[in-house]
Amino acid sequence: MNTSDPTVQPVPASVVEQVDAADVTLSNPKRAVISLGSNLGNRLETLQGAIDALEDTPGVRIKAVSPVYETQPWGVEPGSQPSYFNAVVLLKTTLPPSSLLERGHAIEEAFERVRDEQWGPRTIDVDIVAYQDVLSDDPTLTLPHPRAHERAFVLVPWLDVDPEAEVPGRGPVAELVGAVGQEGVVARTDLELRLPE
């Protein structure tokens, strides 16, 4: 990890120890889907920074990054916040869901995300949408994400990188996109996120 980069927080020692032996080979990795969103500051740069920070995590390897989409904020009055840039990342990981969540929160904190209000504006949002085929109603981390199946800003970029994807317990992403529609989810073909090398 590049410790000179102030936007990347160190992974807690407990997590490093947990996956240290598996970091090179990623023995028996699990598939995870991460949704990213930003509507404050340099949105594209922040999304790329979050992707790079995920890749810098021991036990995580990013396999695909979706195109960038611009969307209106969810759950607030139109025009009350800047629009979002959204993307979805597919990764393989040896981290358990709880440690992946911990890393996501550390990345949010590194980019100074503020949690003053529900549906409030944010520099970065890092959500675990799905982890393998796990179904869990744990209030700390519900899997799959409890609203992913109704959010076009998650489903549309996810479909781009995995046309055969399914939301566990909810069905194929392609069918869910058909049900919720794509209104307000605008492809930003002028922008691009890099897959870490």
Q: Which residues are catalytic?
A: 113, 122, 125, 127
Dihedral (Cα; 188, 191, 194, 195), 10-degree rounding: 10
Q: How many CB atoms lie within 10 A of CB 192?
A: 12
Torsion of CA 18, 19, 20, 24, to 10 degrees: 170
Quote the tokens at residue 112. Answer: 């100074």
Closest CA to 2 of 51, 42, 53, 45: 53
CB neighbour list of residue 183: distance below 8 Å, 6 or more residues apart: 152
Helix (H) or strand (E) holding 26: none
Q: How far apart are CA 167 and CA 45, in angstroms?
A: 28
Q: Which residues neighbour 157 within 8 Å (Cβ) at sequence distance 6 or greater?
A: 35, 66, 67, 69, 86, 87, 88
**Integer Rg of the chain from CA:** 16
